[in-house]
Amino acid sequence: MQSRCQSHSPTFFSSFLEFKVLHSIVLIFLTILFVLQVPGAQDLVDFSPVYRCLHIYSVLGARETFENYYRKQRRKQARLVLQPPSNMHETLDGYRKYFNQIVGFFVVEDHILHTTQGLVNRAYIDELWEMALSKTIAALRTHSSYCSDPNLVLDLKNLIVLFADTLQVYGFPVNQLFDMLLEIRDQYSETLLKKWAGIFRNILDSDNYSPIPVTSEEMYKKVVGQFPFQDTELEKQPFPKKFPFSEFVPKVYNQIKEFIYACLKFSEDLHLSSTEVDDMIRKSTNLLLTRTLSNSLQNVIKRKNIGLTELVQIIINTTHLEKSCKYLEEFITNITNVLPETVHTTKLYGTTTFKDARHAAEEEIYTNLNQKIDQFLQLADYDWMTGDLGNKASDYLVDLIAFLRSTFAVFTHLPGKVAQTACMSACKHLATSLMQLLLEAEVRQLTLGALQQFNLDVRECEQFARSGPVPGFQEDTLQLAFIDLRQVSLCVFVFSTSVRRKC
């Protein structure tokens, strides 16, 4: 009996175990699906070869040899299992296979722990799990960073939650996995911001920057169903009628809500409190407003070919979007059930975003108006030595005044201060530019005919100012923009007349 036992040396059993038991059984189990979705390990794998080998080694008095060999081989296999494929980040299936291997490995070890006496122990499994946890987290950090698709990141998050919950059932600590999910949450937020940057860009690029026309009650209700807007005066008007804002207002508003929904999806099953979810959504939404949407609006405002009509509409649109921020606050509150007045609740910064965009558009209007005025002034062709006495304003100035009248007529829906500032700025710029024409170094002599023509042009400007192109100015306030020009032109006229008399 002894000789028969000795013939079965550890070398013989090692080769047998390596090929027949450890390799075959473990590789079968490496393809197991998540255990929560399938029967127990004992129902899938026949562990009897392991039990028989353990029994034989125990009879031979070499149990410790088998235990050491088994653990050594399993550590090697664990390292192989924990090595992710290089293209794992490309598809969800790559992550799924990786997780399945890890779950399968530790379910086998857990089963061995509970069905054998000493082949593996808790310290050995804890050591393996600690190694596995660090390598898994490192692999996920690396591969998830390559992902630019928010849908894939969200699916990965759900897979990690299932992976963590499965292993937690078997007693493995998984807090670090949930901590890592908070890191992936930040990445998810970044991918969402990039996606919504494209969405906002498409909305702003395709907008016609004209008030939305509606011809029926059904169309009217559709718009107010998409965007919170109330105007009793507009409601009383007969059809057809127009909303003050363009299409991009309800579209942008609804996309902000869609972004909030997308943020909410990631918080599901993360065992977070309502306050934590609320804070996460508000912080992400603030990034959307202050960075993504703000940049999109600024890019439109700074376009070289942007017109005054578009800039005026942007000011009107951002005014209405600013007013809608309180409804976005309510929308988040209804989702999270965390009241805005709760301590430490993050406030939305949407009003700041829309105010900044509006101020940028206002500045662009002032600049754009001045550039248009300069273009008209380039057509000015004063003959300072003419002997003809004109009786009407210069053609270029008549055209310029007509342009200003039509432009300020578009400012009807602008806030009064903006329209007044734009009008005053334009008049001052016109007055300054005309004075520069009169006082430029090349003008060394002036005839009475030239002075009379210039005076007619100044009078045309003053008449424009008196006509009140923009409501809200106090009497003669706008005319003050041309007072210096009038005084200088009079001085030049008087000086020129006195010189001619002396001559």
Instruction: State which H helix or E strand residue 401 sits in.
Output: helix 395-410
Report the alpha-carbon distance of residue 211 to residue 354 in Å, rounded.
18
The amino acid at 290: T
Q: In this structure, what token pair is assigned to residue 273?
A: 């409190």
Burial class (CB in 10 A: 0-12, 13-18, 19+), 495: exposed
First to last CA, the chain: 148
Q: Can you list the pairs that 276-282 forms with residues at least 24 positions away whose Cβ atoms lie under 8 Å?
A: 277/336, 277/338, 278/332, 278/336, 278/338, 278/345, 278/346, 279/344, 279/345, 279/346, 280/185, 281/332, 281/335, 281/336, 282/332, 282/345, 282/346, 282/347, 282/348
pLDDT at 284: 94
Q: Tell me which CATH code domain 190-210+246-362 carries.
A: 1.10.357.30
Burial class (CB in 10 A: 0-12, 13-18, 19+), 230: exposed
The DSSP call for residue 394 is -
Alpha-helical (H) ranges within 9-121 are 10-16, 24-29, 41-44, 48-59, 63-81, 92-115
Cross-strand bridge partners of residue 214? 241
pLDDT at 499: 44
Q: Which CATH superfamily is domain 379-501 in?
A: Dsl1p vesicle tethering complex, Tip20p subunit, domain D (1.20.58.670)
Cross-strand bridge partners of residue 213? 242
Q: Each residue's pLDDT tens digit in the chain (503 positions)?
A: 333 333 344 443 444 444 344 434 433 433 333 333 344 555 666 777 888 888 888 888 888 888 888 889 889 989 999 999 888 988 899 999 999 999 988 988 898 898 888 888 999 999 999 999 999 999 999 998 888 899 999 999 999 999 999 999 999 999 999 999 988 999 999 999 999 999 999 999 999 999 999 999 999 999 999 999 999 999 999 999 999 999 999 999 999 999 999 999 999 888 888 888 999 999 999 999 999 999 999 999 999 889 888 999 999 999 999 999 999 999 999 998 887 776 566 788 888 899 999 999 999 999 999 999 999 999 998 888 887 777 899 999 999 999 999 999 888 778 768 889 999 999 999 999 999 988 885 767 778 888 888 889 999 999 999 998 988 888 788 989 998 888 876 665 554 554 444 44
Residue with tokens 């911001």: 193
